[in-house]
């Protein structure tokens, strides 16, 4: 049966009643009646709860699965390395690091553009296409015979994977209220932690196929996981849904309810809007773009260093390659649990900045243990704290960005810039754990400590203070001149620059 991804007709699209501004003004929108008009508050709450569960059921599980596949495919090269990749391809340590670096170059350069493509092409088209393409690249990595072939495959893997993470986060932010987005982003990102643990187990099992079909075990890791990605990409055409005003799994009344919920939260990101360069420049000129980019570079720089080299770090403690892969599972599992807990707490409190200032302290302690001790037990315990101090900050930062950037395209562009700049730091992360530095890896651990302490922690403190200051000015009426002389529609298009838009700190 063919999927039904065509947009609803104009008369099916849902619009909402204009919400009151704090100054008594009204928003200008096309209207249809409230589908729940005349119902009691209890009935409305019950309908809203059922709608939210329906959204979660339809959206979250499959998107989590896609990110698990994505993170598995980009980091399994670390597992392949200890299964003999560099030996069989006669690669030097520098060449291996270069094969990690090339992925982040293409990945980060493409990310700022992907959310525009996602909006224009629709999620049900864009996401399956990029999955098919990166599945082909992944499979090709298992067929290479030299360093040059691996470099080419890694470059195109980065290019094709670039749209998933920023795209899904932007997509989810167009469905949920600001106070609901954090836990969903955390659950989505927890797939990365699961991929870390699952990847170790899977690699340990697949590597036992060494010699089958004349292929080494590391090649089978790439081939089988690449073929699985291709299959998942095909199925995704039926499993990925479009934006709220085009989602065919919702009735017209439910589409109205979703958009009304967003309007009540001072969001308009579910609505149609033509792309204009003004939205790009609005993001580029916004100080928050650079503050959040600094925070995210600290989190992601540490994340990639940790995920790419954890098996190597554990192996240097004296364990075999299989045992090292298996011992990498528990730190990821613990990080997964804390990531979801922090997402829930940050949603409840709305204080995402405070969590971004507290959680990194665990990472600082963990990497200090790794750099200061030669005791294998202490170092392995340090990997747990390192994971706990990094992973929760990724979705919390993305949620913080999404909560404080409003406008259909501005939010998409800003997320692309922030995530793209952060991932560019994978170029650094992939070159700091050198073979000659084993087993203490002073350079690698030291650089990660700088990422966490200066960029993640320091950037979070600066952003928190900036947003608090701006909120005081808005509440004190010092930004009211921004709307003087503007029509209701022009005020609406100001997005997060509206004086009544209060930032989440």
| pLDDT of 430 | 81
Give the whole-angstrom CA distance, residue 357 versus residue 160: 33
| pLDDT of 274 | 59
Q: Could you check whether the bond before residue 96 is cis, i.e. omega within 30 degrees of 0?
A: no
How is residue 128 written in tokens? 């399956």
Alpha-carbon Rg for the chain, nearest whole angstrom, is 23
- Report the percent of the chain where pLDDT is more than 90: 47
Residue 169 makes CB contacts below 8 A (sequence gap 6+) with 185, 188, 398, 402, 415, 419
Q: C-alpha angle with apex 285: 281 to 291, nearest 5 degrees?
A: 130
How is residue 109 written in tokens? 């350069």
Residue 392 backbone phi and psi in degrees, to 5: -65, -25
Q: How many CB atoms lie within 10 A of CB 494?
A: 17
Q: How many CB atoms lie within 10 A of CB 57?
A: 10
Per-residue pLDDT tens digits for 400-451:
999 999 877 788 889 989 998 998 898 888 888 887 888 788 999 999 999 9
Residue with tokens 């939210």: 52
Report the mean per-residue pLDDT for the chain: 85
| pLDDT of 59 | 94
Among 62, 65, 409, 116, smallest CA distance to 249 is for 62
Coil, strand or helix: which one is 20? Answer: strand
Give the whole-angstrom CA distance, residue 285 versus residue 46: 42
Give the whole-angstrom CA distance, residue 110 versus residue 430: 19
How is residue 428 written in tokens? 């650094």
Is-contact 220 142, C-beta < 8 A? yes
Give the whole-angstrom CA distance, residue 297 versus residue 43: 45
Give the whole-angstrom CA distance, residue 315 versus residue 309: 10
Domains of the chain: 56-497 (1.20.1250.20)
Q: Kindly list the averaged pLDDT for each block of 10 residues, start to end, along the chain of length 505.
A: 44 39 37 73 90 94 91 83 90 90 89 83 93 95 95 95 90 89 90 71 83 91 95 95 88 88 70 64 91 96 84 74 75 90 93 96 95 87 94 95 85 89 87 83 92 97 97 93 83 82 91
Give the whole-angstrom CA distance, residue 243 versus residue 7: 10
DSSP state of 244: T
Give the whole-angstrom CA distance, residue 106 versus residue 101: 9
Is-contact 211 83, C-beta < 8 A? no
Q: How many CB atoms lie within 10 A of CB 23?
A: 11
Q: Alpha helices, DSSP H only, in 83-163?
A: 85-88, 93-121, 123-141, 147-161
Give the whole-angstrom CA distance, residue 343 versus residue 397: 10
Concatenating the DSSP letter of every residue in 349-370 gives H--HHHHHHHTHHHHHHHHHHH
On the 0-12 / 13-18 / 19+ scale of CB atoms within 10 A, 433 is: buried
| pLDDT of 25 | 35
């Amino acid at each position: 049966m063919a999927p039904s991804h065509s947009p609803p007709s104009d008369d099916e699209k849902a619009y909402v009643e204009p919400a009151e501004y704090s100054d008594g003004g009204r928003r200008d929108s096309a209207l249809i009646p409230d589908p729940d008009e005349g119902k009691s508050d209890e009935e409305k709450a019950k309908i809203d709860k059922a709608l939210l569960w329906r959204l979660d059921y339809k959206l979250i599980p499959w998107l989590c699965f896609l990110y698990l596949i994505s993170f598995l495919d980009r980091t399994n090269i670390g597992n392949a390395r200890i299964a003999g990749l560099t030996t069989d391809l006669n690669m030097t340590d520098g060449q291996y690091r270069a094969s990690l670096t090339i992925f982040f170059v293409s990945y980060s350069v493409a990310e700022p553009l992907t959310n525009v493509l996602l909006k224009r092409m629709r999620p049900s088209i864009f996401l399956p296409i990029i999955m098919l393409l990166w599945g082909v690249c992944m499979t090709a990595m298992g067929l290479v015979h030299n360093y040059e072939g691996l470099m080419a495959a890694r470059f195109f893997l980065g290019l094709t994977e670039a749209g998933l993470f920023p795209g899904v986060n932007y997509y989810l932010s167009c469905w949920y209220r600001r106070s609901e987005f954090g836990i969903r982003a955390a659950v989505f990102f927890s797939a990365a932690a699961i991929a870390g643990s699952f990847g170790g187990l899977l690699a340990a099992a697949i590597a036992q196929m060494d010699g089958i079909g004349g292929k080494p075990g590391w090649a089978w890791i790439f081939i089988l996981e690449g073929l699985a990605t291709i299959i998942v990409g095909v199925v995704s055409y039926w499993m990925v849904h479009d934006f709220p005003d085009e989602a065919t799994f919702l009735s017209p009344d439910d589409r109205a309810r979703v958009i009304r919920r967003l309007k009540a939260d001072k969001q308009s990101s579910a609505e149609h809007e033509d792309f204009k360069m003004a939205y790009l420049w609005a993001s580029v000129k916004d100080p928050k773009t650079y503050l959040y980019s600094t925070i995210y570079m600290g989190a992601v720089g540490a994340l990639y260093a940790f995920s790419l080299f954890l098996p190597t770090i554990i192996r240097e403690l004296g364990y075999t390659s299989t045992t090292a892969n298996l011992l990498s599972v528990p730190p990821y599992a613990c990080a997964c649990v804390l990531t979801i807990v922090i997402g829930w707490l940050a949603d409840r409190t709305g204080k995402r900045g405070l969590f971004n200032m507290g959680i990194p302290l665990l990472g600082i302690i963990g990497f200090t243990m790794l750099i200061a001790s030669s005791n294998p037990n202490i170092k392995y315990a340090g990997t747990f704290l390192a994971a706990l101090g990094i992973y929760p900050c990724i979705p919390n930062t993305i949620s913080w960005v999404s909560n404080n950037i409003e406008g259909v395209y501005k939010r998409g562009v800003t997320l692309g810039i922030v995530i793209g700049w952060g991932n560019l730091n994978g170029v650094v992360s992939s070159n700091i754990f050198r073979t000659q530095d084993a087993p203490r890896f002073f350079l690698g651990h030291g650089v990660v400590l700088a990422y966490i302490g200066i960029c993640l922690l320091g950037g979070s403190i600066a952003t928190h203070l900036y947003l608090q200051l701006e909120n005081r000015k808005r509440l004190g009426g010092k930004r009211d001149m921004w709307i003087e002389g503007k029509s209701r529609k022009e005020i609406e298009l100001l997005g997060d620059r509206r004086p009544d838009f209060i930032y989440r700190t």
